[in-house]
């Protein structure tokens, strides 16, 4: 057990000094950390407003502002042309898929499952007006004309008109 009566005054002073330095260091570290966080946020907000040209509006210099209605109409046209050059509302669009004449999976049949015998997998198709299912393997064609490329437990890859498509077989 620690005997507090045997601790000298120099040891007490040293321990209080260490505790005081620890507390002061923690407070200063917290202040510096908080200050740097505020400074970083301020700088990032300034960079964001400076680096986002889509929302900057070109302003006419003060010497070009004219009270004359004729010149103000010309200035309005110049500002409108400046806006058209900004292209704020343009969006990059990917090429759309070509329109299909028929649906990929006509309503008269549907995929009901996947089976495997050994390493050979098959897709089970259920047709309207038929009580039994049909199995189709890799390389065979589906009723819509698509060729089966790969069969997995939860997806089916098909090739249709030169494009590879992935069909998810699980409900989501």
The yes/no answer on whether domain 109-168 falls in CATH 1.10.3470 is no
Q: How far apart are CA 157 and CA 101, in angstroms?
A: 21
Would the pTM of this model clear 0.85, i.e. be above it?
no
- Per-residue pLDDT of the chain (172 residues), as tens digits, is 667 778 888 888 999 999 999 999 999 888 888 888 888 887 777 765 554 444 445 555 555 444 555 566 677 666 666 555 555 555 555 666 677 766 665 568 888 888 888 888 998 888 888 888 889 999 998 887 889 999 988 888 999 888 898 888 876 5
| Residues 10, 64: Cα–Cα separation, whole Å | 78
Q: How many CB atoms lie within 10 A of CB 76?
A: 10
Give pLDDT tens digits for 73-117. Answer: 677 666 666 555 555 555 555 666 677 766 665 568 888 888 888
What is the rounded CA–CA span in Å between residue 122 and residue 153?
Answer: 10
DSSP character for 143? Answer: T
Strand partners, 135: 124
Q: Cβ–Cβ contacts within 10 Å for residue 158, how many?
A: 21
Domain residue ranges in the chain: 11-51, 53-86, 109-168
Largest CA-CA distance found in the chain, in angstroms, rounded: 101
Res 86: pLDDT: 55
């Amino acid at each position: 057990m620690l005997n507090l009566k045997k601790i000298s005054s120099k040891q007490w002073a040293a321990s209080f000094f260490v505790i005081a330095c620890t507390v002061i260091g923690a407070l200063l570290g917290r202040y510096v950390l908080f200050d740097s966080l505020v400074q970083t946020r301020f700088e990032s907000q300034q960079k964001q407003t400076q680096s986002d040209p889509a929302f900057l509006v070109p302003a006419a210099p003060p010497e070009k502002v004219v009270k004359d209605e004729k010149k103000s109409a010309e200035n309005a046209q110049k500002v409108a042309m400046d806006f058209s050059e900004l292209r704020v509302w343009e969006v990059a669009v990917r090429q759309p898929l070509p329109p299909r004449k028929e649906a990929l999976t006509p309503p008269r049949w549907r995929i009901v499952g996947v089976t495997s015998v050994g390493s050979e997998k098959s897709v089970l198709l259920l047709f309207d007006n038929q009580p039994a299912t049909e199995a189709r393997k890799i390389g065979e064609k589906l009723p819509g004309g698509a060729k089966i490329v790969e069969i997995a437990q939860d997806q089916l890859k098909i090739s249709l008109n030169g494009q590879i498509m992935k069909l998810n077989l699980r409900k989501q």
